[in-house]
């Protein structure tokens, strides 16, 4: 089962990037390896139900079971013990990754109030992290059932060698970057 973005990558994006960066072989063209969605929940030390709620929401959004991330050490100031759940994450690859990316671009991002595009700053290795402040932009979330607004980080991991190549790849996929480049 291939999504329209997957087909679009093979038929339109690969030739466009090959032409732009003058690659000698198709294997040099950067591709999207995975998308990691992460929610840090510091308040989970006080409220245990928060982790359960976050896991259910992230599972609904991505279509894949979310897992709790555990703390690595004790921090007494934050009332934190080693191996306490402090966040939730999901790693999407292949079909689910493309399905999520398509829903993010076509449905979720346009629902953000006063949306003017996303920042175009990559990490130096061709990867990009997008911060979202509210989970309610996803249609899978029932707004009436929400008791706490939670943000999340969405990281796009590419096989690009430079930020320029990663930026070009994500722009071709349709991520709505602001006009300023890096």
Q: What are the tens digits of pLDDT across the range 39-63?
A: 877 666 666 777 777 788 888 888 8
Which comes out higher in pLDDT, residue 20 or 181? Answer: 20
Q: Where are the alpha helices (DSSP H) in 113-175?
A: 163-173
Q: Is the pLDDT of residue 182 over 50?
A: no
The pLDDT of residue 108: 73
Distance CA 88, CA 55 (A): 6
Task: Give pTM, 2 decimals.
Answer: 0.76
Inter-axis angle of helices 14-21 and 163-173, to 10 degrees?
150
């Amino acid at each position: 089962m291939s999504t329209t973005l997957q087909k679009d990558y093979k038929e339109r994006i690969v030739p466009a990037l090959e032409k732009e960066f003058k690659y000698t072989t198709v294997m040099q063209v950067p591709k999207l390896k995975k998308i990691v969605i992460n929610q840090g929940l510091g308040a989970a030390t006080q409220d245990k139900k928060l982790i359960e709620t976050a896991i259910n929401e992230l599972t609904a959004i991505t279509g894949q079971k979310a897992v709790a991330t555990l703390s690595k050490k004790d921090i007494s100031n934050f009332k934190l013990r080693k191996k306490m759940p402090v966040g939730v994450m999901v790693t999407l690859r292949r079909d689910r990754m493309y399905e999520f990316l398509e829903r993010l671009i076509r449905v979720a991002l346009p629902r953000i109030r006063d949306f003017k595009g996303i920042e175009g700053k990559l990490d130096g290795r061709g990867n990009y992290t997008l911060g979202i402040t509210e989970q309610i932009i996803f249609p899978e979330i029932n707004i009436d059932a929400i008791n706490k607004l939670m943000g999340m980080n969405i990281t796009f991991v590419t096989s690009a060698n430079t930020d320029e190549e990663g930026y070009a790849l994500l722009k071709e996929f349709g991520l709505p970057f602001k006009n300023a480049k890096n």
